[in-house]
Amino acid sequence: MDYMKAENVTFAYEPQEDEETFEVLHGVTLGIKKGEFVALLGHNGSGKSTMAKLFNAMLLPSGGKVWVDGLDTMDENLKLEIRRRVGLVLQNPDNQLVASIVEEDVAFGPENLGVAPPEIRKRVDDALRAVDMYDYRLNAPYKLSGGQKQRVAIAGIIAMQPDCIVLDEPTAMLDPRGRTEVLGTIHRLNRENGITIVLITHYMDEAVGADRVVVMDDGRVLTEGTPREVFSQVELLKAHQLDVPQSTELIYRLKAAGCPLPDGVLNAEECVAALEPLLDRSKK
């Protein structure tokens, strides 16, 4: 049973002035199961960010339907409830933080939901601990690093006790340390708290850690499956100008040159493990 479902969704932005209607999604069908960690991979312009906003009713489909836990996103009355259940974290860490003090920003969500003040306090503390930012609760946002700000933004979503968090390229503006912090946080939330994660990214090394990878191109789903299944389809990905991890590419090219090597290599360690036996054999 899917927690979130997109059924044959098409989407076009409102045309401006005398421009033509520009369709961004051409019939996407996609299901997300509860507790899954799904990576949505694609170019800028593939439609992946649009999908993100369709899942929490920020955008409504032009055609087809989007369901969240059985609720239809087209229903005006259910909008707030859907957004409580499906949080959305955006790319720019700065432009998500509303208050001048970290703990007050994390409280913003529950305050909007009308949660009782003592309960808000508890949720804020728990959320900050979950993202490892409790020590910074009285700090001002402008003094934090990108990775810290993004974690505060995530805490702000957790405080609303969502079932699922969708993150639209959350690490695109971060340095390597920030990326590691944020990714570590969302993996932990997925593993330990059972929160469903939909990670929208163009970094393959982030997709490699997911349960399932969905590749989008030109407003459609190109392919999906486990990271191994997806990244093994090197030709398909390259034909659509998508990248694969360097390890995967190396094995692919060596295979093409005639070496008997396995499919589905995703990182350096696996690559070395795959090459060693062959190198040993050739030495003899």
| Residues 69-88 contacting another protein, CB under 8 A | 80, 83-84, 87-88
Shortest CB 107 distance to another protein, Å: 4
Kindly tell me which of 1 and 116 has the beta carbon lying closer to another protein.
116
Residue 76 tokens read as: 């005006």
Q: Tell me whether residue 8 or residue 180 sits nearer to another protein (CB atom).
A: 180
CB nearer to another protein: pick between 132 and 249: 249
Which residue is listed with tokens 């390890």? Answer: 247
Min separation Cβ 187 and another protein, Å: 19
**Strand arrangement, sheet containing 63-68:** 22-33, 2-13, 63-68, 71-72
Least distance in angstroms from the C-beta of 201 to another protein: 9
Q: Looking at beta carbons only, is 5 or 83 nearer to another protein?
A: 83
Q: Which is nearer to another protein, 63 or 129 (CB)?
A: 129
- For position 12 contacting another protein by CB under 8 A, the verdict is no
Using rule CB under 8 A, residue 202 touches another protein: yes
- Is residue 162 within 8 Å of residue 155, measured between CB atoms? no
Does residue 97 interact with another protein by CB under 8 A? Answer: yes
119-138: which residues touch another protein (CB under 8 A)? Answer: 120-121, 124
Map residues 155-174 to x or -, x wherever contact with another protein holds by CB under 8 A. -xx--x-----------xx-
